[in-house]
Structure 1
Amino acid sequence: MVFSRFFSGLALALGLSASVAPTPAEASSRPAAPGPASPAPGTVRKHLIYFKDKAGTPHQLSRPQTFLSARAVQRRQRQGIALLPRDLPVSPAYVQQVKAVPGAQLWYTSRWFNAAVVACDSATLQQLQALPCVRGARTLNRGLPGSRKRGEGEQTSTAPESTAANPYGKAYPQAQMLGAVRMHEAGFRGEGLQIAVFDAGFPGVNTAPAFAALRNEQRLASTFNFVDKNKAVYQRNSHGTHCLSTMAANEPGVYIGTAPQATYHLCITEDSYSEHPVEEANWLIAAEYADSAGVDIISSSLGYTTFDYPSIDYTYADLNGRTAISTRAATLAARVGMLVVNSAGNEGNNTWRYITAPADADSILTVGAVDSLRGRASFSSRGPTADGRIKPNLAAMGEQTAIVTPDGRVNRGNGTSYSCPVLAGMVAGFWQANPQLTAQQVISFLQRSGSRAATPNDEVGYGIPDFVQAYNLANPGAPLATQAASAQQNLFIYPNPVKETELYLQLAVGFQGVPLRVRIYDARGALVAEEQVAATTAAAVRLQPGVLVKGVYTCTVSAGREQRTVRFVKL
């Protein structure tokens, strides 16, 4: 594979030895290599050491293959993005100077920040700052782990049993809401796209049936744990497993995610036991890793505002797109052609209420949450950014979202952590269908397809995107399934909304004179009514679904091999 030709350069870029550098397509089944020994409390801390320049680097912009994979170079070329000095690895001579200081433990190096993550005590830090190659330093963690750890605030619950007669199982509503079901029917399931998932752990991904296809088809391109500096990712917090499942799970009849055929890189950047800016530095290093590997999309369900050391908490004024470490990293990831999808945050009901870093980054797709009725979830963080930009950009289902647990069960969870990957999977299918687009053009077309495209706001941005509408906007001369779309226009439910018990189905021409099978699903994808309609030449037929409770419903009408889907609301 192409990865084997660049990982020595990638190891150098990360400040790793060849024996520690993560290798793609390598499952972390063997015991994890131990990380650095725990430092004495209050003595050894991690710092971001900034270098003055990149003098003496053996790498050249004209020969990017020494530090980037062929796929990474192709991504830039395809989007007309030039290589810049920031892409070059840090100077090896400077790295050696840091290593030569007694007590300095080099963890990683950063190309984009021209910096190194170093663990040391305060006396050693002074020696490092005195080096002629160093221009400054920032401390990344202080004190002992505290009680101020702030996660995304998700809640999970057991999903009720469903008789949904569809291959998506309980994941049907969240996929249908974005047009991902139509996207899959059109043949776009993320094939050929690579997605890096940044999170706190992925237990069960190596064993759960929902991820069997991902494993068996060798679409787990790489794993790396940036917290412990090893390859072991099937451990720690299950949050990453839940998020990954909304895209990658593929167990027909039980659960299908929005990008079930994409290739994935699993990265632990988040330490769920504490909250320090070092996690943002992990995000930065992981983004550079993803860049070097040729990743197309980053899905990050992470956010930062408060830390265990309160004096370094971010303020709302800091959410200006250029202050937080993770925000600056996300912006640079976007600058090299990756499409960054990040959760808006779950602060909508709290005093903070606003988005969290890196959701304020420029040129990324920040995702808010809605419920099954397409209304904004009350917990979903709001915009705008401190400098007045619209955030979130788009929204997807994040309330009562179906997720897969490490033991393979399907539960439901609340959080923009889930709306983010649900949408990231649709992004993969849309980009697969439109490979000529740049990452920024993909974001633009999705925003133009949003349910609030004409009147974006600071709660859901441009609203809920739709794959078919976005595709047709990007391909005005060859819209998706033109004939089917035309027939769809004449197949609808009325009255809509439905107030009483009378419900009629207006028949398209292709659905007259043939027997029909009509199935009605509720917002969770459960089959609530089914009937056979005899062949008729009438323009409409009355349906008999029985008593329907208030909510949004999907009506699927089948005529032989032809099938159409329409939605209606019961008041």
Structure 2
Amino acid sequence: MKKLLLFIVFIYSSISVSQEHAWVYLADKPNSVSAIANPISILSQEALDRKAAHNVIIDFRDVPVDENYITQIKAQTGITVSAKSKWFNALHVIGTQADINALTTLTVNGVNIVSSIDFADDSLNTRVSQNLNKHDVEASFTSFNYGNAANQIQMFNGDDLHLADYTGTGMTVAVLDAGFPNVDTMNGFQRLRDNGGIEGGYDFVDRNTDVYAYQGNSHGTWVLSDMAGFIQDQFVGTAPDAKYYLFRTENAATETPLEESLWVEAAERADSLGVDVINSSLGYTTFDNPNYSYTPAEMDGNTAYISKGANIAHEKGILVVNSAGNSGNNTWQVVGAPADATGVFSIGAVNAAGTYASFSSQGSSAQPTQKPDVVAQGQASYVILNNDVISTLNGTSFSSPIMAGGIVCLWQALPSFDNDQIMQLVRESASQYTTPDNFLGYGIPDLSLALAQGLSIVEFENENTTLKIFPNPVINQLTIQIPSQFEEAEVRVYDVLGKKVIQTTVSATNKTINTNPLAKGVYLVKIEAEDLSVIKKIIKN
């Protein structure tokens, strides 16, 4: 009997080991022409509005995978369909090598529906294919008392954006992570829930709509707190008034290629819902099955399935923010996928003093663009744990949402900009923009500077008079150039509490105002003359 049991166990182990992961790429989408002609049938109105605002075309990739093809493949012997991607027109399947290869002969109405197959185990492919990676789970004016979270937002002057009433209102963020237990009950998210800030969610791992049900990992809860958490006078996230979708794509108990496919599914869902920004504190480098693992050289921005998916999300107008990874201290060392992708804004980590955190993954010559892009506080970052305790944790998993929230607020202030323009503004504002390196990338951003630069661009592009206010940010002297038809204009400057701090007049010959006595912060400048009344926000550095 004991021998029989051992034999059965051996057979079961052999069957288990023989199960392979693969992407099955389909030949076409039979109804794509009619779907593109009637886009509301495949995308929400919010998604259509966002694409129109940023001149993003609706194309073949927006059309869902054909349901009849999915049904046919599910019916094949030994095949489990675990995920799908409309962007790639692909299915993630699990089965034996023989059963998966047999799909190449599958036809519908006499036409072969499979164009190619890529196994996650590269040795099973007849050509170079995609492989996969690993997760970084680590252990008017608005005035907030940030409490413990003050340093991590003040480091990049995100609090200046809040003072200017840019707190994420009107922006939508999708958080792709490993678990969101207690977000529906915690005091730390009470303000978010009361404001209707959670738009919805989905658990792609367990395939259910209760994104809070999975209690096995709290990583997503911690990450969300850095953007949306609020405890009066103790903690404020960097985008507390944005709307959020919560998507569980990571199974922290295992590391398989399926998680990449689930991530792409969630990104596609985010796109269809009109999401502006994705925060993903996830990364993939190696897997439980070493045959599926990547090499550092393959972190080239376009090898991993997830990186290619992230690039498509970027093409669709979404700004994807991703943690760089926590491999700086180990043999892997380099930024992982999807943070290696050109279209992803990857965030490294520094400590509270702004010094490189040794665990933060480093850029590589294999990557076509500078990685990481920028850094934020990721060492001893404050988060709200799922029992409402404020604590510190280490990892780029936290520098990413801290920075993502700031970027959300910046984009709120500059709605006419596209994702590329916002990312470039942030890079150009950073502390070592002219001398980037593989540790800090372009450095620590200054979002007040990025906002001022963006506002000056908008003012210049939309200017219909000769009224100009510069420089912004200002240090000692503000220049106001009024239209030539006015002899003079009255100028009043108000602080964040509405108190008038300067009142004077300007003219063609007297254009300057001394701002040296003003404290650092955001101010309103009101300029009035006959038939002229203009209010501008300025930042005093």
- Normalised by the shorter chain, which TM-score bucket? 0.7 to 0.9
User: Counterparts of 1:208-223 in structure 2 under 5 Å?
Assistant: 208-223=186-201
Q: For structure 1, which runs of at least 5 residues remain unmatched after alignment?
A: 1-38, 143-148, 156-164, 491-509, 515-538, 541-554, 558-563
Amino acid of the structure 1 residue aligned with 2:138: E
- For 1:100, the equivalent position in structure 2 comes to 75
- For 1:54, the equivalent position in structure 2 comes to 29
Q: Deviations over 1:432-479 (max 9, x none)?
A: 000000000000101111111121111111111111100111122769
- For 1:175, the equivalent position in structure 2 comes to 153
- For 1:507, the equivalent position in structure 2 comes to none
Moved more, 406-415 or 129-138: 129-138
Which SS does the other structure have where 2:184 is aligned? coil
Which SS does the other structure have where 2:17 is aligned? coil
Contact between 1:141 and 1:278, CA under 8 Å: does it hold in 2?
A: no
Measure, in 2, the Cα distance between the counterparts of 1:416 and 1:474. Answer: 27
User: Counterparts of 1:389-400 in structure 2 under 5 Å?
Assistant: 389-400=369-380
- For 2:175, the equivalent position in structure 1 comes to 197
Which SS does the other structure have where 2:456 is aligned? coil
Which SS does the other structure have where 2:202 is aligned? strand
Instruction: Return the offset for 1:151.
Output: 4.3
Q: Deviations over 1:158-208 (max 9, x none)?
A: xxxxxxx97211001001111111111100000111111111101121111
Which of 246, 270, 273 does residue 290 from structure 1 map onto?
270
Amino acid of the structure 1 residue aligned with 2:152: Q
Instruction: Return the offset for 1:56.
Output: 4.3
- For 1:524, the equivalent position in structure 2 comes to none
Instruction: Return the offset for 1:62.
Output: 2.1
Contact between 1:59 and 1:88, CA under 8 Å: does it hold in 2?
A: no
Give yes or no for the alignment of 1:429 onto 2:409. Answer: yes
Mark the CA change 1:213 to 1:347 in structure 2 (over 3 Å): closer, same or farther: same
Mark the CA change 1:270 to 1:153 in structure 2 (over 3 Å): closer, same or farther: closer
Instruction: Return the offset for 1:141.
Output: 8.7
Give yes or no for the alignment of 1:185 onto 2:163. Answer: yes
- For 1:154, the equivalent position in structure 2 comes to 138
Measure, in 1, the Cα distance between the counterparts of 2:150 and 2:453. Answer: 25
Instruction: Return the offset for 1:102.
Output: 4.5
Contact between 1:174 and 1:396, CA under 8 Å: does it hold in 2?
A: yes
Instruction: Return the offset for 1:385.
Output: 4.8
Normalising by structure 2, report the TM-score: 0.77
RMSD (Å), alpha carbons: 3.2
Measure, in 1, the Cα distance between the counterparts of 2:134 and 2:94. Answer: 24
Instruction: Return the offset for 1:281.
Output: 0.8
Which of 320, 333, 336 does residue 300 from structure 2 map onto?
320
- For 1:231, the equivalent position in structure 2 comes to 209
Mark the CA change 1:210 to 1:336 in structure 2 (over 3 Å): closer, same or farther: same
Mark the CA change 1:284 to 1:153 in structure 2 (over 3 Å): closer, same or farther: closer
Which of 63, 69, 88 does residue 44 from structure 2 map onto?
69
- For 1:449, the equivalent position in structure 2 comes to 429
Give yes or no for the alignment of 1:413 onto 2:397. Answer: no
- For 2:351, the equivalent position in structure 1 comes to 371
Mark the CA change 1:393 to 1:153 in structure 2 (over 3 Å): closer, same or farther: same
- For 1:343, the equivalent position in structure 2 comes to 323
Contact between 2:238 and 2:402, CA under 8 Å: does it hold in 1?
A: yes
Instruction: Return the offset for 1:430.
Output: 0.2
Mark the CA change 1:453 to 1:58 in structure 2 (over 3 Å): closer, same or farther: closer
Instruction: Return the offset for 1:92.
Output: 3.3
Instruction: Return the offset for 1:138.
Output: 3.4
Contact between 2:35 and 2:42, CA under 8 Å: does it hold in 1?
A: no
Measure, in 2, the Cα distance between the counterparts of 1:153 and 1:82. Answer: 35
Contact between 2:347 and 2:372, CA under 8 Å: does it hold in 1?
A: yes
Instruction: Return the offset for 1:253.
Output: 0.9
Mark the CA change 1:129 to 1:483 in structure 2 (over 3 Å): closer, same or farther: closer
Measure, in 2, the Cα distance between the counterparts of 1:102 and 1:384. Answer: 43
Amino acid of the structure 2 residue aligned with 1:192: G
Contact between 2:137 and 2:282, CA under 8 Å: does it hold in 1?
A: no
Amino acid of the structure 2 residue aligned with 1:426: G
Q: Sequence identity, in percent?
A: 37
- For 1:545, the equivalent position in structure 2 comes to none
Mark the CA change 1:284 to 1:460 in structure 2 (over 3 Å): closer, same or farther: same
Contact between 2:453 and 2:472, CA under 8 Å: does it hold in 1?
A: no
Q: Deviations over 1:69-104 (max 9, x none)?
A: 111111111111112212222233322322332554
Which SS does the other structure have where 1:468 is aligned? helix
Measure, in 2, the Cα distance between the counterparts of 1:257 and 1:180. Answer: 10
Measure, in 1, the Cα distance between the counterparts of 2:65 and 2:472. Answer: 55
Q: Deviations over 1:6-26 (max 9, x none)?
A: xxxxxxxxxxxxxxxxxxxxx
Which SS does the other structure have where 2:115 is aligned? strand
Amino acid of the structure 2 residue aligned with 1:201: G
Contact between 1:57 and 1:91, CA under 8 Å: does it hold in 2?
A: no
- For 1:162, the equivalent position in structure 2 comes to none
- For 1:307, the equivalent position in structure 2 comes to 287
Instruction: Return the offset for 1:332.
Output: 0.6
Measure, in 2, the Cα distance between the counterparts of 1:345 and 1:74. Answer: 33
Amino acid of the structure 2 residue aligned with 1:471: L
Contact between 1:59 and 1:66, CA under 8 Å: does it hold in 2?
A: no
Which of 28, 38, 54 does residue 79 from structure 1 map onto?
54
Contact between 1:106 and 1:118, CA under 8 Å: does it hold in 2?
A: yes
Which SS does the other structure have where 1:108 is aligned? strand
Instruction: Return the offset for 1:295.
Output: 0.6
Mark the CA change 1:166 to 1:81 in structure 2 (over 3 Å): closer, same or farther: closer
Contact between 1:318 and 1:324, CA under 8 Å: does it hold in 2?
A: yes
